Structure 1
Amino acid sequence: MSVRYGLLALLERGPMYGYQLRTAFEESTGGTWPLNIGQVYTTLSRLERDDLVSALPEQDGGQRSYEITGAGRAELALWFATPVERADRPRDELAIKLALALTTPGVDVRAVVQTQRTATMRALQEFTRLKAADAEPAELPWRLVLDAMIFQAEAEARWLDHCEASLVRYPPATRSATAPAAQPHRPGEVRSR
């Protein structure tokens, strides 16, 4: 998700100035995505340039609030109606790191996997502790963000198990250095045999 759509969604609640937007954004995401205030104001400037928000007159304290425009509402509605595609997500740094570790001389790939697994399990324990410590039902947005982090950590742990098993089955030393790289299988693509 871009900050752009996050700010538009927050402004749909009503006019806000930069610090209010930053606080509301961090509260809505359970503090999992801290925003730099400079990023908030830069994004607001771009949204204003694109006629998706408009600046209101300065208040007594010198703060300038922004409100969403009709075009901003249309842009926000389109974003909510459009599914997130896998290709739209950021690059997976861990997958890239392990792919490079396999082809970099002197790197102990099993140690890289184990180090990541330890960090992933520590994060999973912390997320689970946060969920259990919530005696009162948390606000639904925070609960959903926390559940997503738990599920992602669990999936990462399973993937790391798969990586480790693959290292046993296909040790890097047995691969030919001159063999062409296999093209990844893309969803919906039919492979010829």
Structure 2
Amino acid sequence: MSVRQGLLALLAQQPMYGAQLRSEFEARTGGTWPLNVGQVYTTLARLERDGLVEEVGADDEGRISYRLTRTGRAEVAQWWLSPVDRETTPRDELVIKLALAVTVEGVDVHRVVQTQRTATLRHLQDLTRLKQRATTHHESGDGGDGNVDLAWLLVLENLIYSAEAEVRWLDHVEARLVREASRPRRQARTVPTTDDEGPGTVGGPSAPHHTIATTPRGAQ
């Protein structure tokens, strides 16, 4: 989620100052994507520069609040109705690690996969316990904001689905490694050429040779 768009969405409700925006952002996402105040104020400065927010004065403690401009409200409205852009592929450290592991000699790729699976399963168990507690709290209606509870549940469920997908992908990676290990390796064979030879001659003692990589039948 873009911090820029998240702050605009919060300001669509009411004017807020930087620390308040950070607190609201983290409360509504369960602290999954923590922000620091400096990041919030840097983003607010850019939003003000772009004409999307404006200052509305300081409170008794000198904290400056911001509100959306008309342009800012239009951008928030457009954001709600626009799909999230998936054209830019995010850098996933696990994918990068495994892609490199299979190309670097001396790396025990199976151990890398198994270690990650153990960690991901443990993370999945923690998320499941959090969801159980959050669901109980939400359904009991015992204090708090029901919409904030629902928001936290949605975030947790997204994280659970992602963890489950990661475990399935790791299972697939391990199965792929097993299949790859059983494949015949590509071998090189030397074949003569007819360069500089007369008609009908198929390579002589002085004919140059070229190495051609071949794949045994059935290896594809």
Asked if Structure 1 and Structure 2 have the same fold, meaning a TM-score greater than 0.5 normalized by the shorter chain, the answer is yes
Q: Percent identity at matched positions?
A: 61
1:56 counterpart SS class: strand
2:177 maps to what in 1? Answer: 167
What SS does the corresponding residue of 2:15 show, helix, strand or coil? coil
Structure 2 counterpart of 1:108, which letter?
D
Equivalences for residues 1-193 of structure 1 within 5 A:
1-88=1-88, 90-134=90-134, 135-137=136-138, 139-171=149-181
Q: Would the aligned equivalents of 1:26 and 1:35 in 2 still touch at CA under 8 Å? A: yes
- In the alignment, residue 166 of structure 1 is paired with which amino acid? R
Change in 2 beyond 3 A, CA 1:68/1:172 = farther
Spell out, residue by residue over 1:81-118, the C-alpha distance to the aligned partner (whole angstroms, 9 max, x if none). Answer: 11123324522221111101111121111111111111
Cα distance in 1 for partners of 2:185, 2:76 equals 49
State how far apart, in whole Å, the 1-side matches of 2:32 and 2:89 are: 17
Which SS does the other structure have where 1:124 is aligned? helix
Pairs aligned (count): 178
**Hey, which of these two has a bigger chunk of strand by percent?**
2
TM-score normalised per structure 2: 0.76
Aligned in 2, Cα 1:52/1:129: closer, same or farther, shift over 3 Å?
same
Stretch of structure 1 that moved more, 75-84 or 131-140: 131-140
- In the alignment, is the contact (CA less than 8 A) between 1:30 and 1:142 conserved in 2? yes
Pair 91,175 (structure 1): closer, same or farther in 2 beyond 3 Å: farther
Supply the distance in 1 between the matched residues of 2:80 and 2:182 (Cα, whole angstroms): 44
In 2, distance between residues paired with 1:7 and 1:165?
A: 43
Cα distance in 1 between the residues matched to 2:98 and 2:13: 43
SS in 1 for 2:83: coil
Provide the aligned C-alpha RMSD in A: 2.1
Q: 2:53 and 2:31 mapped to 1: Cα distance?
A: 25
Choose between structure 1 and 2 for higher RCO, CA contacts under 8 A separated by at least 6 residues. 1
2:84 maps to a residue whose letter is: V
The residue type paired with residue 136 of structure 1 is: H
TM norm structure 1: 0.86
Distance 1:175 1:65, change over 3 A: farther
Shift of 1:173: 9.2
Determine if contact 1:102/1:172 at 8 Å carries over to the other structure.
no
SS at match of 1:30: coil
Greater Cα shift, 72-81 or 119-128: 72-81
Q: Which moved more, 1:55-64 or 1:22-31?
A: 55-64
* Alpha carbons 1:120, 1:153 under 8 Å: kept: yes
Q: Given residue 53 of structure 1, which amino acid in structure 2 is its aligned partner? A: V
**Greater Rg, structure 1 or structure 2?**
2
Query: Which residue in the other structure is 2:141 paired with?
Result: none
